[in-house]
Amino acid sequence: MTISSSIPTAARPATTDSIVLGMGCFWGAEKRMAAIPGVLDVESGYANGEIAGTYEAVLDHERLLQWGKTTRRNHAEVVKVTFDPARVDAEQVLIVFWESHNPTQGDRQGNDVGSNYRSAVYTNSDAQQAIALQTRDTYQTALTAAGRGRITTEIAPLETYFTAEEYHQDYLVKNPNGYCGLGGTGVRYPVAATAAKAG
């Protein structure tokens, strides 16, 4: 059972949407995204790599990459966020995503280093892809104004997804003192951009 999955199936809306997000270690990402009103479920997983979708395979492959022994692409640790679009839209989910980690660090987040910890947005439609690019550009404007670097987040269609092992699901609920390397930049997403769109 993943975070927020306590909502009974019968009570769930007929229409849902989902997006897959990489913010470094999926433990903290799961907790952050589950706190968004309108999010129905958050599941830890592995996405858009060219290897087996298991924790051991990802760690082993990252070592091979660092040793220069492979060029195959590793998975990113991700969370699959399922939400009720009548209550929260993809743009609002992505605003929380941008503010909740540092998207300028490349293959690193907190103490976690490696391509498996890359910042990523993996989309399920052309519309989601456009929203991801638009919110990235808007947030980049705010980061640049604050003297921060360029966003390195990979934005691409979701090609491959594997659910992570059960012990990774709800990890910080089961282990309240567990490690969470997430730390945002402290730069807020421009409210004016969303207000202008709403108007």
Q: Output the six-digit token pair for 71.
A: 């060029």
Q: Measure CA 70 to chain center.
A: 25
Mean confidence (pLDDT) of the chain? 88
Distances (CA, A) of 57 to 127, 132, 162, 166: 32, 29, 12, 16
What's the CATH number of domain 16-193, 3.30.1060.10, 3.40.109.10, 3.40.390.10, 3.30.450.20?
Answer: 3.30.1060.10
With CA atoms as reference, report the closest residue to 100 among 43, 23, 191.
Answer: 23
What's the rounded Cα separation, in Å, for the pair 89 and 182? Answer: 23
pLDDT band at 3 (very low <50, low <70, confident <90, very high): very low
**For residue range 86-113, what is the model confidence (pLDDT) as tens digits?**
999 999 999 999 999 999 999 988 788 9
Q: What residues does each domain of the chain span?
A: 16-193
- At residue 174, the pLDDT reads 67
**For residue range 159-173, what is the model confidence (pLDDT) as tens digits?**
999 999 887 787 666
Q: Could you tell me if 90 and 19 are in contact, meaning their C-beta atoms sit under 8 angstroms apart?
A: yes
- At residue 171, the pLDDT reads 62
Average pLDDT over residues 110-136: 95
Q: Which residues are catalytic?
A: 25
